[in-house]
Amino acid sequence: MKKAFITGITGQDGHYLSKLLLEKDYEVHGTIRRSSSINTGRIDPLISKYQNTKQLNLYYSDLLDSSSLNMLINKIQPDETYNLAAQSHVAVSFKNPIFTTQTGTLGPLSLLEAVRNSDKEIKYYQASSSEMYGGQMKGKLNEESLLNPKSPYAAAKVFAHHMTSIYRDSYSLFCSNGILFNHESPHRGETFVTRKITRAASRIKLGLQNKLTLGNLEASRDWGFAGDYVEAMWMMLQHDTPDDWVIATGETYTVRQFLEATFKKLDLNWEEYVQTSDKYLRPNEVEHLLGDPTKAKEELGWEPKTSFDSLVEMMVESDLNLAKREKVLVAEGLLEPTWENPTS
């Protein structure tokens, strides 16, 4: 049985990756952070399913606590390590630049050091990001494209990206960077724009919300499905040699187009409900992202399986079900109605 160590297992990708690896009979070890409210919601079904086996194991840790990372790598001796943990919200990285940078730079470096100092050969996956490109190029971005970070988040990702290649080249370690473009799902955090839209539109449909406030509607992103993208992470660590790969769909849509597609699925006219506010504008916007996944297709045999329309459909269906449950709780007086998520 292969062993995988995953940081950030409670996040969107952590959910899909741990599910994939458990289905492949891996023993999965993941780190969770102590929080005043329970943060394992996304993986609770997996925790229940595997509670009587030793296949899923969770540990308190933090990327800033290098001693716990060292201890865990030594104790678990994983075959594969997936570093998914990060303060992953770009807008928040401008508000909390030091935490974002420390987590995004010292975190991966501590983990790389733990891997380097281990007697066992451990493969390492780094969650790199299309944000590193900065979004000024109109053409398709590939592994050779210039990195031009525009936020503390992206700058930290560039550092970790380079350190991953430096450790690969300097110590002959099996370290790979997955340069993933935006990927979404029903498990996407509610403050990222796609999920903010599908959640709000579903609540509007059921009368639980009456408006949606957004920032820049003209930004465009290459949006794929997270379930497809975690397969690429695993494929990278099964490849003969370590390297860097772009994972994307090769199509880009604006926030406005995502809005239109979502509201249309619910027979609503988005213009009646959506307003914009400077509150959601960023100090330095990444305007346009479009990826070229040719290398991943040719070398890993990876291709996206989910279309833009199917992604929107999947997210709307899931959020409509969530809103229906919420409506029942509100009707029974078990939940206070809220009109718009104040932190979104």
- Give the footprint of ligand GDD on this chain (CB under 6 A): 88, 90-91, 129-131, 181-182, 191-193, 196, 214-216, 219, 221, 255, 280, 282, 285-286, 289
14 binding ligand NAP? (CB under 6 A): yes
8 binding ligand NAP? (CB under 6 A): yes
Residue 215 burial by CB count (10 A; 0-12/13-18/19+): exposed, middle or buried? middle
**Look-up of token digits 């709307």:** 316
Pick one of ligand GDD, ligand NAP, none as the site partner of residue 306 (Cβ within 5 to 8 A by kind). none
**Look-up of token digits 């940078």:** 101
The helices-and-strands tally (H runs, E runs) of the chain is 11, 13
Nearer to ligand NAP, 261 or 289 (CB): 289
Q: Which residue of 72, 73, 76, 84 would you call a contact of ligand NAP, by CB under 6 A?
A: 84
Pick one of ligand GDD, ligand NAP, none as the site partner of residue 10 (Cβ within 5 to 8 A by kind). ligand NAP
| 26, 124, 125, 153: the active-site residue | 153
Q: Distance between CA atoms of 344 and 341, rounded to whole angstroms?
A: 6
Q: Distance between CA atoms of 125 and 120, rounded to whole angstroms?
A: 16
Pick one of ligand GDD, ligand NAP, none as the site partner of residue 145 (Cβ within 5 to 8 A by kind). none
Q: Distance between CA atoms of 187 and 315, rounded to whole angstroms?
A: 9
Residue 124: phi and psi, rounded to 5, are -125, 130
Pick one of ligand GDD, ligand NAP, none as the site partner of residue 8 (Cβ within 5 to 8 A by kind). ligand NAP
Residue 242 burial by CB count (10 A; 0-12/13-18/19+): exposed, middle or buried? buried
Give the 3-state DSSP-derived string for 260-290, with helices as H, strands as E and coil as C.
HHHHHHCCCCHHHCEEECHHHCCCCCCCECC
Nearer to ligand GDD, 78 or 135 (CB): 135
Q: Which residue of 12, 110, 249, 262 would you call a contact of ligand NAP, by CB under 6 A?
A: 12
DSSP 110-178: HHHHHHHT-SS--EEEEEEEGGGGTT---S-B-TTSPP---SHHHHHHHHHHHHHHHHHHHH---EEEE
Is residue 196 classed as helix, strand or coil in its secondary structure? helix
Pick one of ligand GDD, ligand NAP, none as the site partner of residue 255 (Cβ within 5 to 8 A by kind). ligand GDD
Q: Which residue of 20, 58, 64, 322 would you call a contact of ligand NAP, by CB under 6 A?
A: 64
Residues 85-124, mask of contacts with ligand NAP (x by CB under 6 A): xxxx--------------x---------------------
User: Is 131 marked active-site?
Assistant: yes
Residue 50: phi and psi, rounded to 5, are -105, 15
Shortest Cβ distance from residue 11 to ligand GDD (Å)? 10
Sequence letter at residue 62: D
| 27, 61, 125, 131: the active-site residue | 131
User: Is 130 marked active-site?
Assistant: no
Measured distance between the N- and C-terminal CA atoms of the chain, rounded to whole angstroms: 41
Nearer to ligand GDD, 14 or 78 (CB): 14
User: Is 121 marked active-site?
Assistant: no
Binding site for ligand NAP (CB under 6 A): 7-8, 10-14, 31, 33, 35, 39, 62-64, 84-88, 103, 127, 129, 180, 182-183, 189
Residues annotated catalytic, as ranges: 129, 131, 153
